[in-house]
Structure 1
């Protein structure tokens, strides 16, 4: 009699245990399923952060400069800032940035003050060719073919840039086969830029 009672209690206990597990699972928000589920590895504790990508842009350096514009038939400096790549300015990059400033139309306040520029908007500058003197720059037009004021603006802006010239002439050439020439910016160049387009120019030996 005792054995039959024990046999009857075991199935009942098993059913009760299964019901209890189902209730606990439902209370935790877990849906029961008869299909095995692979939830993957445990979530990482590393915070969401992007690693640096290869080829990211180099930091830009801001350089205060002075460029020469035309005002009252003379050359007068205006303050500008250049943004160049890297911590050490690239010489050609500075030459390009300065020419961009000279080609750009003066700002509203500059125009109202009487400033203008004669540097052509399509003018470009590149580095030296094979056989050119070290530090030479090549314009997309022959320097002597430019308007006198435009050439004077370029020469004075370049010669007074510490990144381009150190106490000497700026070496300018054009797209032709002519050798570059050394151009100096003098007080007379600034005072009378239209008088002589190559004032202060010296041929290189």
Structure 2
């Protein structure tokens, strides 16, 4: 046997042994890179919403925006307004929505990965002296809120009946804090921590 033939035989034998060893370890050799895509998310961010039909005793069906996988996602809730008040009472509705945002998600919401960045203890009031009729004033200046908390409040108010007719949310802090008209933009809902809430100063 020539040296060349012997070399080929040993090369073939070595490849066969290597394949057997890899198979024994549970590894299959491959010549092509395999891309299985991103790992599936363990946080579905989906819930079976409650029945949003008729309510009794001053209850109203609402949607609030919570944070899930760094995005804003709407969640169905119900709020109770004081007897004799309806959903048309914008300030009381705004406070009820704010109370919902301040509650840490529990049960199915928590298991689905929802969180809130709105801290407890905030209140909201109607327009101050010289403010436009659609203004809402928070007990904390909007500039002092985290981007997530501000986005949650703006989008919840914009879609929950507490905004102006043009869906803009006019917010300010206590006293003579500057008022701004905020929009709940699609970009802000998908990237609330990176995209500032679109706003324009209200004179």
Q: TM-score range by the shorter chain?
A: 0.5 to 0.7
Note the residue ranges of structure 1 that are not aligned, 5 or more in a row.
1-58
TM normalised by structure 2 equals: 0.68
Residue equivalent to 1:61: 58
Aligned to 2:80: 83
Give the corresponding residue for 2:136.
Answer: 137
Corresponding residue number in structure 1 for 2:184: 185
Distance 1:196 1:186 in 2: 9
Aligned match of 1:195: 194
Unaligned runs of 5+ in 2: 1-55
Corresponding position of 1:73: 70
Deviation track 1:122-160 (CA, whole Å, cap 9, x = no partner) reads 211111111111111111111011000000000000011
Q: How does 1:11-160 map to 2 (within 5 A)?
A: 60-84=57-81, 85-86=83-84, 88-89=86-87, 90-160=89-159
2:58 is paired with a residue of what secondary structure? strand
Larger Rg: 1
In the alignment, structure 1 residue 169 sits paired with structure 2 residue 168: yes
Q: Report the aligned-residue RMSD.
A: 1.6
With the length of structure 1 as denominator, give the TM-score of the two structures.
0.67
**Alpha-carbon contact 1:69-1:102 (below 8 Å) kept:** yes
Inter-partner Cα distance in structure 1 for 2:101 and 2:134: 20
What is the count of residue pairs matched by the alignment?
A: 146
**Which secondary structure state, in structure 2, belongs to the residue aligned with residue 60 of structure 1?**
coil
Structure 2 CA distance, aligned partners of 1:92 and 1:68? Answer: 18
For the 8 Å contact 1:125–1:139, the answer to whether it is kept is: yes
CA contact (8 A) 1:183 1:202 kept: yes
